[in-house]
Amino acid sequence: MTRAVPSSAPIDDGASRRVTIAAGDPVRHRLDLLSPGLAEAIGIRTRRFAARTVRARREIVHGGEWPVGVVALRSGWAAYVRHFVDGRRQIQHLFLPGDPIVLDRRSPYPATIVALSTATLIDLDGLRTPDPAVFDDALRRHATLTLHHLLDATARLGRQSAIERFAQLLLEVRGRLLPVGLVSEQSFQMPLTQEMLADLLGLTSVHVNRTLQAMRQQELIALIGREVTLLQPDELARMADYQSPPSPDAATH
């Protein structure tokens, strides 16, 4: 198994650069979901934000490091990852396009974050907001939703069968990608290898392959390259006893 390259190693494919954020950008969608009006408050239409690219399997931050700025994932997938001394790895939580990777600006990162695919990160520089407390409230909502997904992952690993684990994961991913504009009908891109899926779902790569084949044969999903289509989302929800996370507004009430 290939271990992640530490964040102290060179990780940028190119020099850091400044970018603008268009109206349909996942980051803008996510900010507006967490706190309506926040995107406008930080001048998202007119400012240029610092961006960097991190290659797949490279560390983005190491657990225990303190946040510098408010970094969000603009494209690509990343995850909290725990490596064991014998080479095993557990992928604990996924970060998807649009997600801030910072949960609290006043606390260190709780775990190491690794890019699972080539990822673009932008620093939203929340300290420039007219009211920094608005940004902190949005991050608290995001942290509450992250906790919800982590608790789902605990139940998934502890009590569900392989096919139930897949059903729950696919529904979670669809539910998180849909509001940021990255789901077409019931289809979305999932740039995870079978090895990554094994480390995320607590299965072997062989078991992952067999389960995916079974789901395709049962016409629960279609899988073409990296595109996943949920053919029977209601049946998947029944199998997984899937419960949608609270809305961002409900997360702080």
CB of 41 within 8 A of CB of 129? yes
pLDDT of residue 17: 83
Please tell me the pTM assigned to this model.
0.90
pLDDT of residue 131: 72
Q: What is the mean predicted confidence (pLDDT) over 175-196? A: 96
Rounded Cα distance, 83 and 92, in Å: 11
With tokens 């929340």, the residue in question is 126
CB of 63 within 8 A of CB of 110? yes
Q: Which residues are CB-contacts of 130 (< 8 A; sequence separation ≥ 6)?
A: 41
Task: For residue range 201-230, list pLDDT tens digits in order.
Answer: 999 999 999 999 999 999 999 999 999 999
Helical H runs in 22-119? 26-34, 38-41
pLDDT of residue 159: 95
- Model confidence band, residue 100 (pLDDT cutoffs 50, 70, 90): very high
pLDDT of residue 130: 59
pLDDT of residue 224: 95
Rounded Cα distance, 61 and 95, in Å: 13
With tokens 């946040």, the residue in question is 67
Which of the two residues, 113 and 131, has the higher pLDDT score?
113
- Model confidence band, residue 31 (pLDDT cutoffs 50, 70, 90): very high
Q: What is the mean predicted confidence (pLDDT) over 66-80? A: 95
pLDDT at 115 over 80: yes
Specify whether the backbone of 22 is left (phi greater than 0), alpha (psi in -120 to 50) or beta.
beta
pLDDT at 241 over 90: yes
pLDDT of residue 21: 87
State the virtual CA torsion across 209, 74, 181, 231 in degrees, nearest 10: 0
Which of the two residues, 126 and 156, has the higher pLDDT score?
156
Q: What is the mean predicted confidence (pLDDT) over 161-174? A: 98
Rounded to 5 degrees, what angle do the CA atoms 174, 247, 40 make?
Answer: 95
Query: Would you say how long the chain is, in residues?
Result: 253
Share of the chain above pLDDT 70, in %: 89
pLDDT at 30 over 50: yes
pLDDT at 110 over 60: yes
Rounded Cα distance, 201 and 170, in Å: 11
Element (H, E) at 36: none
